[in-house]
Amino acid sequence: MLQFYMLKKQSVHILLILILGLLAYSNTFNAPFQFDDRGYIVDNPIIKDFKYFKNPSVSDRLHDSFYSYSFKNRFISDFTFALNYKIHGLNVTGYHVVNLAIHLINALLVYWLALMTLKLQVASYKLQDSLSTVNCQQSTNLIAFFSALLFVSHPVQTEAVTYIYQRFTSLAALFYLLSLGLYVKWKVRSQESGVMSQKPEKIQIQESKILTPNSLPRTLFYLLSLAFAVLAMKTKEIAVTLPIIIVLYEIFFFSKSQIQQSTVNSQQSTSRLTSYVSRFLYLLPFLLTLLIIPLSYLSANKSGADLLHAVDKTARTSAIPRMDYLFTQFSVIVTYLRLLFVPVNQNLDYDYPIYNSFLNPTVFLSFLLLFGIFCLGVYHFYYSKNPPSSPFDKGGIKGGCSLFTVHCSRLMAFGIFWFFITLSVESTVIPLEDVIFEHRLYLPSIGLIIAFVSFVFCFVFHLSTFNLHPSSFLSHHASRLTVFLLAAVVIVFSIASYQRNALWQNEITLWEDIVKKSPGKARVHSNLGTLYLANGITDKAVSEFQQAVSINPDYIEARKNLITAYLNKEALDDALRELIALSNLLPGNADILTPIGGIYIKKGEPDKAIEYLNQALLLNPQHINALTNLGLAYASKGWNDLAVSAFDKAIGINPDFAFAYYNRGLIYAKKLDYSKANVNFKLACLLGYEDGCIVSRTAPDRK
């Protein structure tokens, strides 16, 4: 009994949320950089030098346009990575600590937002007795508590937390929740002080005193909410839905009380119009933040037509037609729903089919399911605004707190709409390269989790009586049963999160799991092969690259890696075959013709080597490796003067090219010009070529 009472205390709730989050992610602090982490953190020059933050225009000079794009449009996330690098270097622990801290704060913000919303609902109705009031307060606390617990422990969130690069998502969600929460806090304070409900002539008086000491904290909530909205927009593009969610929240949870208050006086129509105008003016700055993201893509001298074209071009990161992407997303969103309720077979890199017809059974049935869920949200919103009047007829509000008509229905509707709206950026008609990623569920899941927990407590109200009508208070047995069932789900999710995080402890383990789940996707085989190759597991690397190439014969990166693996194995014929195939895919490429010549040198066929190397030099006369290999080919035929000439040209292009000095020294030694040979060996040694050091130490003894 004491334990159940303690479970209803908010301080205990906060402590348990933090403890559960720490336990679920306690095995992530040493998880290595994975997937895009290496490209966009380990190799990202922006996060390694604060000069880019002092003078952002410097980023335009970077060769990789993605770094500049990310810096301009996701400035805040890059800044946090820069701070991490400044403090921790490339020690992954520091990055994981920050990611987990963000996730825990988000869980507390979910708790805070749900609690505030439920209390708003409770406060909007007068309860008839203290028993109803106490019971309703306990119910709202538990709904908020379990919403936060499910959010912090759900295994589908691991990709947004353990995958370091996806801090973009969790950090944007943090600013998103802070902005919305502070807006709600400001609105509640405003209503309490009467600013939003005075007669027109009194509103003007109050607004003139808006910066007085008594009103300063309230104004600070509003300004902070707006500031966090801006930060969210500069963290990740998903924040573009924030103003829409704020307007939706205004409609769902504030419009009724304001209209009722504004129509009390005799000038009903004027007061109502004033109320709407006042509310719009306060919402206007948030609506204007919608311009931040599209304007971030553009330079100041762009015209309106160029603006729209640039936004469209930048947003389209995939060759998938828009309608095909939309049809596919109907199925993807159903997969997201399945992952939220049954989080099994999670995958970092899904091999998802692309659908190109609305009449495809998978697409059409998915659409019907999603449309049904959306209609359910509309129904609950309507039902919450128009509840039956009788306390004995389907959840009437007389006689006590009815979660079904007052709290649950409204909150369930809002949660459903939140889910669809926050998914709209990445799951509608803007084609992205990957149609599905689990981290895209991080922000949308909040709405659906709150809706689900509200439904569970609402359902228990029906079970607490035997006539299938909601009771005015929750029976002890029903309440305990609900808590135990939800606690069991939370425990299962926490264990699943811990186990999922265990896969992230090793790069090879994670990608072996991905290959098992996406065997038909070329990229996953190539990525696993790259890891095998880096760890010296060459035979397995070859096998993975071969599978990648068989799935996608035009996969250039996989072919290049396969060539490297063959060369590591000294499988020259196999490497040569792949290089020739690659040269057919990329004709006129000196970087491909040069290693072909190098292999022919190793095979003892200098004539063919010279043929390919001369072709490479016709394409690029400054190709230093082609010149060096050509010198080696000439040397193997005994054409020493031509060999020296080729090495001279290579050294002329790069005076610090130690390998050319060493080989030129060998030619001079063959020509018995030991003084010049020794000079070249010493230069090679000074430039760090160890063989040059060895030869230069023995050269003086030669006769």
Is 650:667 a contact under the CB 8 Å cutoff? Answer: no
Q: Where is average pLDDT lowest: 140-154, 262-276, 581-595?
A: 262-276
Average pLDDT of the chain to the nearest whole number:
81
Is 232:239 a contact under the CB 8 Å cutoff? Answer: yes
Task: Answer yes or no: do 478 and 605 share one domain.
Answer: no
pLDDT at res. 407: 66
pLDDT at res. 500: 95
pLDDT at res. 7: 61
How far lies 524's CA from each of 435, 511, 514, 529, in Å?
15, 7, 7, 8
Establish if 72 belongs to a structural domain: no
Question: Does residue 304 register a pLDDT over 60?
Answer: no
C-alpha–C-alpha distance, residues 636 and 631, integer Å: 9
Task: Answer yes or no: do 345 and 396 share one domain.
Answer: yes
Q: Where is average pLDDT lowest: 53-62, 438-447, 624-633, 686-695?
A: 53-62
Last residue of a domain, one of 498, 524, 557: 498
Q: Where is average pLDDT lowest: 104-108, 220-224, 331-335?
A: 220-224
Last residue of a domain, one of 498, 528, 561: 498
pLDDT at res. 312: 44
C-alpha–C-alpha distance, residues 703 and 701, integer Å: 7
Last residue of a domain, one of 450, 476, 498: 498
Domain range enclosing 692: 508-701
Average pLDDT over residues 127-150: 69
pLDDT at res. 126: 47
Task: Answer yes or no: do 572 and 607 share one domain.
Answer: yes
Task: Answer yes or no: do 469 and 567 share one domain.
Answer: no
Task: Answer yes or no: do 263 and 294 share one domain.
Answer: yes
The band of 125, judged by pLDDT with boundaries at 50, 70 and 90, is low
Is 661:686 a contact under the CB 8 Å cutoff? Answer: no
C-alpha–C-alpha distance, residues 158 and 512, integer Å: 18
How far lies 23's CA from each of 6, 100, 348, in Å?
21, 11, 22
pLDDT at res. 20: 95
Establish if 77 belongs to a structural domain: no
Domain count, the chain: 2
Question: Does residue 195 register a pLDDT over 50?
Answer: no
% of residues, the chain, pLDDT over 90: 41
Q: Where is average pLDDT lowest: 185-194, 232-241, 561-570?
A: 185-194
Average pLDDT over residues 503-530: 94
Question: Does residue 693 register a pLDDT over 70?
Answer: yes
The band of 674, judged by pLDDT with boundaries at 50, 70 and 90, is confident
pLDDT digits (tens, 9 = 90+) for 455-469: 888 766 555 554 444
pLDDT at res. 189: 83
Task: Answer yes or no: do 368 and 302 share one domain.
Answer: yes
Task: Answer yes or no: do 130 and 216 share one domain.
Answer: yes
Average pLDDT over residues 642-651: 90
% helix, strand, coil for the chain, step of 5: 75, 0, 25
Average pLDDT over residues 63-69: 62
Is 19:154 a contact under the CB 8 Å cutoff? Answer: no
pLDDT at res. 122: 60
Question: Does residue 673 register a pLDDT over 90?
Answer: no
Average pLDDT over residues 567-583: 89
Is 330:366 a contact under the CB 8 Å cutoff? Answer: yes
